[in-house]
Amino acid sequence: MSENTFYSQKFTIRANEVDTSGNLTLSAICNFFQEVAGNNAKELNFDITDMNDQNMTWVLQRMDINLNKSLNWREIVTVETWPAAGDSLRAYRNYRLLDNTGQEFGNCLSYWMVLNIETRRPMRIPKAVLDTRLANRPHVTEVKKHRIKPFTEKGFEKNIIVRRSDLDMNNHVNNVRYIEWMLETISQKSAQKIRNFDILFMRETFVDDNLVASSYKADDEHLIFKITNMKKQVIALAEALVKA
């Protein structure tokens, strides 16, 4: 087992990572997750460039994010991460968020799959990747088995045209963009109250695609989100729990 399986990195919250009230945004947190995951995977020799050499790439299937408070501009965030046990088709990655006192203020469990670049179909995870997992370290939160169900009620909608700047190194829309688009359908006040955000990524989207982001308030504490394309196919779904 590699000594680098566990990884930690500090970030100073920048002005472009906070909202108009100076609070660290959910999308900025997810960008931290992307950065530490990539850096850890590079140390373990299975980051996106290593995978591309084998005609494979990583794709994010799900993120289950928990937060119990917000941090502000110029505060220090430490993000800890490690890959964890899964099966031959899905890998997990854990994250812990620590404030400048070392107290945990959030965590996330992410679900990953390996995609064949040419066929765009899932494939078995390479043995070298499976061998790096931390079997004796528990997940930060339970693995969720249920599928998020799309809502049919009329919610608030926003139309989106995918730009080149929305794409990542896989040449499809970066997962953080979906979160940003979903949160654009609710008020900033509601976004600041989110304590759990569980998002499921279902289809790829590409430059110039026309999408619709929408949200529905199930009750005072639960929000549901979806993004669809012009064929009415669901691209991503999410559930959020907000502090009452």
CB 4 within 8 A of CB 43: yes
**Mean pLDDT of the region 47-68:** 91
User: Which pairing describes strands 122-123 and 156-161: parallel, antiparallel, or unpaired?
Assistant: unpaired
Residue 22: what pLDDT? 97
- Strand positions, DSSP E, the chain: 7-12, 56-67, 76-84, 91-98, 104-116, 122-123, 156-161, 194-201, 210-217, 222-229, 234-242
Q: How far apart are CA 157 and CA 210, in angstroms?
A: 13
Say if residue 78's pLDDT is above 70: yes
Say if residue 85's pLDDT is above 60: yes
CB 228 within 8 A of CB 235: yes
Whole-number Cα distances in Å, 130 to 5, 22, 69, 124: 12, 40, 34, 10
Residue 169: what pLDDT? 87
Biggest distance spanned by C-alpha atoms of the chain:
51
- As its CATH architecture, domain 156-242 has Roll (3.10)
Nearest by Cα to 213 from 167, 162, 159: 159
CB 218 within 8 A of CB 224: yes
Q: How far apart are CA 237 and CA 116, in angstroms?
A: 23
Say if residue 186's pLDDT is above 60: yes
Amino acid at 12: T
For the record, the structure tokens of 158 come out as 């926003």
pTM of the predicted protein model? 0.93
Amino acid at 51: M
pLDDT band at 135 (very low <50, low <70, confident <90, very high): low
pLDDT tens per residue, range 94-125: 999 999 999 999 999 999 999 898 998 889 98
Nearest by Cα to 91 from 139, 54, 50: 139
Q: 240 or 4, which is more confident?
A: 240
Residue 30: what pLDDT? 98
Residue 3: what pLDDT? 57
Residue 1: what pLDDT? 42
Amino acid at 96: R
Question: What is the CATH code of the structural domain delimited by 7-130?
Answer: 3.10.129.10
Residues 6+ apart with CB under 8 A from 167: 173, 174, 206, 207
pLDDT tens per residue, range 37-55: 999 988 888 888 888 888 8
Q: Do domains 7-130 and 156-242 have the same CATH topology?
A: yes
Domain ranges of the chain: 7-130, 156-242
Residue 37: what pLDDT? 94
**Mean pLDDT of the region 223-227:** 97
The percent of residues in the chain predicted with pLDDT above 70, rounded, is 98
Nearest by Cα to 106 from 189, 197, 217: 197
Which residues, in sequence order, are bridge partners of residue 57? 115
**Mean pLDDT of the region 146-168:** 93
**Mean pLDDT of the region 220-235:** 96
